[in-house]
Amino acid sequence: MRMMQNLEWQKSDTSYDTVNTGQDPKNRYLLGDAVNTDQDFILTHCLNRTQLQNKIPGHDIVFVVGDLKACLQREWCLAGHNRYIKKQIVQDLHRLEHYDAIKDLAWPACASLDELDNLPKHILQEVDQDYKKIVKQQQPAADILSLLETAAIDKVNSSYEIIKWHTEYYSTYPVEFSSKDTVIDIGTGTDNFSITMQQELNLYHSEIFNDAWNKLNPS
């Protein structure tokens, strides 16, 4: 979106969902019934023309396509794994309850985890730091080996979850566009944006993610 608005976008280590906090989270995959179509720009992971026209009619569409495995691996490294960890909620302290308990009067109300995760970055950082501190106090002491084992298992589970979900999603709503559509293929493009994204995607590699991908997508 920033590229199309001629704004600064050449920033590495940046996740789509964590930067564009002003976008409605319901638009992310166009799975909800109500989609806010009043915005000048709508960012979505959906690449299916039929679904896009059904959910947000009357908008010009620009498709940005790339290798699913490489794009998912980057997102998993930057935000997906941390998002998975956040979902492993400690029963004694739900994240929404924690937010309500510590929130400043100037902070917005949050009715869902999606809204919480899309708070402005400075608020989210403060909330996460306090939440982690409290959770750590509630957890029993563990030896280093157990902690490393748990961390490894969490990475396997989080990579499996993100790959499985997106594989099923793009099977249900496959990439679909016409020859008349504007399509930016970041894998083969020679423009500055595509070249930057090619370099960015090459930065992220994980044996755990690759193993999970190969098991879910056997050749």
pLDDT tens digit string along 86-133? 777 554 457 888 888 888 889 999 888 888 888 999 999 998 888 877
pTM, two decimals, is 0.70
Q: What is the pLDDT, as a whole number, of residue 89?
A: 53
What is d(CA 36, CA 27) in angstroms, rounded to the nearest whole number?
8
User: pLDDT by residue (tens digit) across 180-192?
Assistant: 889 999 999 998 8
What is d(CA 159, CA 154) in angstroms, rounded to the nearest whole number?
8
Q: What is the pLDDT, as a whole number, of residue 20?
A: 59
More confident residue, 205 or 193: 205
Residue 182 parent element (H or E): strand 182-185
Give residue 24's pLDDT band: very low, low, confident or very high (50, 70, 90): low
What is d(CA 105, CA 102) in angstroms, rounded to the nearest whole number?
9
What is d(CA 165, CA 28) in angstroms, rounded to the nearest whole number?
14
**Cβ 212 vs Cβ 163: under 8 Å:** yes
Q: What is the pLDDT, as a whole number, of residue 107?
A: 93
Give residue 15's pLDDT band: very low, low, confident or very high (50, 70, 90): low
* pLDDT > 70: percent of the chain: 79
Q: Which of 55-64, 80-89, 178-187, 195-204 has the lowest mean pLDDT?
A: 80-89
Q: What is the pLDDT, as a whole number, of residue 92?
A: 43
Can you say whether the dihedral through the CA atoms of 95, 85, 87, 77 is positive or negative? positive
* Length of the chain measured in residues: 219
